[in-house]
Structure 1
Amino acid sequence: MAICYYQLRRVAVFFAGIYCGVMVRRSGPENQPLAWALFVAALIFNPFIPMHLPRELWAVLNVGAAALFGLSHIANVVSSGGSRCSTRPQ
């Protein structure tokens, strides 16, 4: 059961990294380093050619990836002038 969870998480982070990287890259040239960092996260968590790393290193990578996706979200909210989930008329 645990193996299925980690494989599913790898797939989710892989596709989310690619999607978020593309969206951040489209947002403007000032966000290019963040986009490349998301692409690297997708590469690290890719399910097709898995990286076999020690558990301690995976713990650091998991926290780093979570922080990276959080930073990506914050950059998206700031660049759009507010939350995309807002009910305010634009």
Structure 2
Amino acid sequence: MVDCNRRLSRPSFAMDTPPNPASAARVPVAVWLCPTVGLALAVAPMPYGYYTVLRIIVCLAAIFIAWVVLSRGTGRWLGWAFVGLAILYNPVIRVHLDRDTWAILNVLSAVPFAWVGWRQRSLRE
């Protein structure tokens, strides 16, 4: 027989308190380090395939970091900056610029990824 008056227990994923920002959804090292190194190396002359793969890596990493930052609710400007990077480096609808402009953008785009890594390290300590 089923006891209908018995209270159901709350699911384990229900949270009564807000998550601690230091432990909430951390960005894995590879997600910020691969784009940082790849964008820094992109200043050197590379084959066309390198830049195609780099677009995919940077776009996916930027989407992931934007999702993590915007879901935390803090640093919204940083989240929207990564949305902008995802749009700029998206491999489907390409932005066509000359090589010199891309070299400058690659170096400037590496900065937010490196900043995320530095910030993660400082939060860990």
TM-score bin (small chain)? 0.7 to 0.9
Residue 82 (structure 1) aligned with residue 124 (structure 2): yes
Give the length in aligned residue pairs.
Answer: 80
1-structure distance, mates of 2:84, 2:52:
18
Counterpart in 1 of 2:71?
A: 26
Deviations 1:56-77 (A, max 9, x none): 1101110111001111223334
Residue 6 (structure 1) aligned with residue 51 (structure 2): yes
Give percent identity, aligned residues only: 32
Counterpart in 1 of 2:98?
A: 54
How far off its partner does 1:40 sit? Answer: 0.3
Amino acid across the alignment from 2:118: I
Relative contact order, higher structure (CA 8 A, sep 6+) = 2
TM-score (norm 2): 0.58
Q: Select the structure of larger CA radius of gyration.
A: 2
Q: CA RMSD in A?
A: 1.7
What's the secondary structure of 2:61's corresponding residue?
A: helix
Runs of 4+ in 1 over 6 A off after TM superposition: none
Unaligned runs of 5+ in 2: 1-45
How far off its partner does 1:44 sit? Answer: 0.4
TM-score (norm 1): 0.78
